[in-house]
Amino acid sequence: MNAIDPLRNQAQRDKPWIFRTYAGHSDASESNKLYRTNLAKGQTGLSVAFDLPTQTGYDPDHVLSRGEVGKVGVPITHLGDMRALFDQIPLAQMNTSMTINATAAWLLSLYIATADEQGADRAALQGTTQNDLVKEYLSRGTYVFPPRPSMRLTTDIVVFTARELPKWNPTNVCSYHLQEAGASPVQELSFALATAIALLESIRARPEVAPEEFGSVVGRISFFVNAGMRFVTELCKMRAFVDLWDEITLKRFSVLEGQHRRFRYGVQVNSLGLTEPQAENNVYRILIEMLAVTLSKKARARAVQLPAWNEALGLPRPFDQQWSLRMQQVLAYETDLLEFGDIFDGSKEIDAKVAELKAAALEELAKIDAMGGALAAVESGYMKMALVENGARRIEAIERGEQIVVGVNKFTTSEPSPLSAGDGAVVTVPDSVETEAVGRLKAWRAARDGKAVEAALTELASAAKEDRNVMPASIACAKAGVTTGEWAQTLREIFGEYRAPTGVDTTKLGDDAGLATVKAAVAKAAERLGRPPRFLVGKPGLDGHSNGAEQIAVRARDAGMQVSYGGIRQTPEEIVTQARETQADIIGLSILSGSHLPLVRDVTARLRVAGMDVPVVVGGIIPPDDENALKNMGVARVYTPKDFALDGIIADVAGLSAKKG
């Protein structure tokens, strides 16, 4: 018979990747319900989203936590919260990814303490701590300590887990947020690999890691990447990652075992490219981006988590997350993808593009090496500046129509979408969540053994000062009842805090022709004021997504405005003080964490008390109802992702600044 059996390869099917959704909000109990529901729907691993106070080492009652508790993830303040988060979820049988960086040692300690209480064998624990501090200085912004102490903490986790949690991935070297911040494929490759090289050098220098153990430690290093819409280029980028990691670990670090040189990575596809206009188009974008990291067997992701189609509108509902999960399951179980070898091997086009990306990445890596490595390139501001510049070029290309985004700058005529209509189109986190978290925190502090807490923190401080691994002391802190803020503050007092370069103090990025219209608007405002308009760009709260604020600051400066931008993590009081000191004509607040209402309310109230008549504009992911609420507070303009034309925003801001008083 010549008939081809359509099921001939079923027996040889590869196992699918781990299916995850990135989830967590409100409080530990609510997030636990969401996790158990998603696992029942066929999700095969957990990906925990922590709120910004947890990520940056603050308790819910800290001034910087106001408005941020439970908004972009779940607040985990102490062991009681971690118990509730994983209630009825056996950790010995679960694969858990935790997106946590500056406080990774602490959250992993809480996880281990919870597993110990469950009676789980530490050697059975499987999962990942993101634990890549370098990219935090460049993109996401949830750093706490300076780069070198942060690398020390990252290395502590790697060394500890190698002995205690051999199945755990102690770090995801993370290029995901680099792309979100404007990185090109070459910058993703080179900056991420430079970070990995710095980490491997730090590990190799540790006396606890014997030379014969080094290869197996390298084998547990994983990556977390992004996949955008340039489908072929993204697929080739992943194949280039595979080749370059193999070459670097072999030639530079003498890792001889092939299995230890495998490029192991998880992925979330591009959230930056999700659009507010015609948001239903995001379903297709997510699918196409997923294909780039699953079709090539040689470079297939080990775990995939997909954003929901409506994340440009707000926090997704359970149905929206289910839709993204089903997308993975349909590809894995209904198609024949997993029955074949790599379908791109031997392609001249693919091979040529991979070679091009590798050559450019190696050239950039050599430049970073000459600077002294990744940490030096962060401290000098080189990496941040490069991302801001490339991000500016991307935005200009969209504005000019050179890069088409369907529904945004082309094919904008649209029917109303029933998917996002009506109440409940996105999840909202009530302000009561913060009040309840503060109440639980007070009760926790009152019930614990204060002397045990003090002793545990003293031992933690000693370990940090004496350059001992902080993990054993951190686990002891978790079991004694120490809180997230107390753990972080103890290390802040030893390592200090850090303010990363903003990347906006660069040469002019826009060309004069492209800026002609907005320059005219700024000149008109300057004529009325008798000087260039003064524009204060502020980032209140803990939101570290600074890309939008940076691009606004750069474009406004290039157009002729006098711009003040102090970077991330400012209190409302600090913003109002800065506005007074700089005699700002207008204040722009960028908030993408969902905490816009309480933070803007605080800023505008302080301006009124100070007698400052300064117009305020706000940008972020802001639902229509919240937009109306902000305007009722006196906010002059609200900009959301649909307002992608920066020149229009700057011209608008310039006009408002000239109306001050």
Residue 531 DSSP label: S
Mean pLDDT across 459-474: 98
User: Which domains does the chain show, CATH number per domain?
Assistant: 130-400 (3.20.20.240), 513-658 (3.40.50.280)
Three-state secondary-structure class, residue 492: helix
Residue 93 DSSP label: G
pLDDT mean across residues, the chain: 91
* Count of residues making up the chain: 661
CB-CB contact of 588 with 653 (8 Å)? yes
What's the pLDDT tens digit per position in 100-149?
999 999 999 999 999 999 999 999 999 999 999 888 888 888 999 999 99
Residue 1 has what pLDDT? 43
Residue 315 has what pLDDT? 78
**Judging by beta carbons within 10 Å of its beta carbon (0-12, 13-18, 19+), is residue 660 exposed, middle or buried?**
middle
Mean pLDDT across 441-447: 97
Torsion, CA 644, CA 648, CA 649, CA 654, rounded to 10: 170
Phi and psi (nearest 5°) for 168?
-85, 140
What's the pLDDT tens digit per position in 589-634?
999 888 899 999 999 999 999 999 999 999 988 888 899 999 999 9
Mean pLDDT across 471-498: 97
Q: Is the pLDDT of residue 218 over 80?
A: yes
Query: Of the listed 78, 135, 539, 596, which one is catalytic?
Result: 539
Can you tell me the distance from the alpha carbon of 176 to that of 189, in angstroms, rounded to the nearest whole number? Answer: 11
Residue 5 has what pLDDT? 58
* Cα 126 versus chain centre, distance: 22
Q: Which of 162-166, 536-540, 544-548, 637-641 has the lowest mean pLDDT?
A: 544-548
What's the pLDDT tens digit per position in 321-365?
899 999 999 999 999 999 999 999 999 999 999 999 999 999 999
What's the pLDDT tens digit per position in 640-652?
888 878 889 999 9
Mean pLDDT across 266-277: 86
Residue 507 has what pLDDT? 47
DSSP 477-544: HHHHT--HHHHHHHHHHHH-------S-SSS--S-TTTTHHHHHHHHHHHHHHTSPPEEEEE-BTT--
Structure-token pair, residue 282: 């995001």
CB-CB contact of 421 with 279 (8 Å)? no
Structure-token pair, residue 419: 């998917």
382 part of the active site: no
539 part of the active site: yes
Residue 398 has what pLDDT? 87
260 part of the active site: no
Can you tell me the distance from the alpha carbon of 151 to that of 16, in angstroms, rounded to the nearest whole number? Answer: 33
Residues 6+ apart with CB under 8 A from 429: 25, 26, 70, 71, 315, 594
* Cα 510 versus chain centre, distance: 27
Can you tell me the distance from the alpha carbon of 517 to that of 647, in angstroms, rounded to the nearest whole number? Answer: 8
Mean pLDDT across 426-449: 91
Mean pLDDT across 180-207: 94
Query: Of the listed 35, 58, 143, 176, which one is catalytic?
Result: 176
Distances (CA, A) of 511 to 69, 252, 299, 331, 650: 42, 42, 39, 44, 15
Specify the long-range contacts of residues 442-451, CB closer than 8 Å, at least 24 apart. Answer: 442/61, 444/77, 444/78, 444/80, 444/481, 444/483, 445/483, 448/480, 448/481, 449/480, 449/481
265 part of the active site: no
At residue 503 the predicted structure's pLDDT band, cuts being 50, 70 and 90, is low
Cβ neighbour number for residue 119 with a 10 Å cutoff: 9
Can you tell me the distance from the alpha carbon of 320 to that of 329, in angstroms, rounded to the nearest whole number? Answer: 15
Can you tell me the distance from the alpha carbon of 660 to that of 653, in angstroms, rounded to the nearest whole number? Answer: 11
Residue 129 has what pLDDT? 96
Q: Is the pLDDT of residue 551 over 70?
A: yes
**Judging by beta carbons within 10 Å of its beta carbon (0-12, 13-18, 19+), is residue 290 exposed, middle or buried?**
buried
Alpha helix stretches (DSSP H) within 311-431: 318-334, 348-371, 374-379, 382-399
Query: Of the listed 135, 177, 260, 596, which one is catalytic?
Result: 177
Greater confidence (389 vs 58) lies with 58
Mean pLDDT across 21-28: 85
Can you tell me the distance from the alpha carbon of 256 to that of 53, in angstroms, rounded to the nearest whole number? Answer: 42
Q: pLDDT above 70 covers what percent of the chain? A: 95
Mean pLDDT across 429-449: 94
Structure-token pair, residue 302: 């080990």
Mean pLDDT across 269-291: 91
543 part of the active site: yes
639 part of the active site: no
Angle of helix 185-204 relative to helix 231-247, nearest 10 degrees, comes to: 20
Query: Of the listed 137, 545, 565, 647, which one is catalytic?
Result: 545
What's the pLDDT tens digit per position in 225-256?
999 999 999 999 999 999 999 999 999 999 99
Q: Is the pLDDT of residue 428 over 80?
A: no
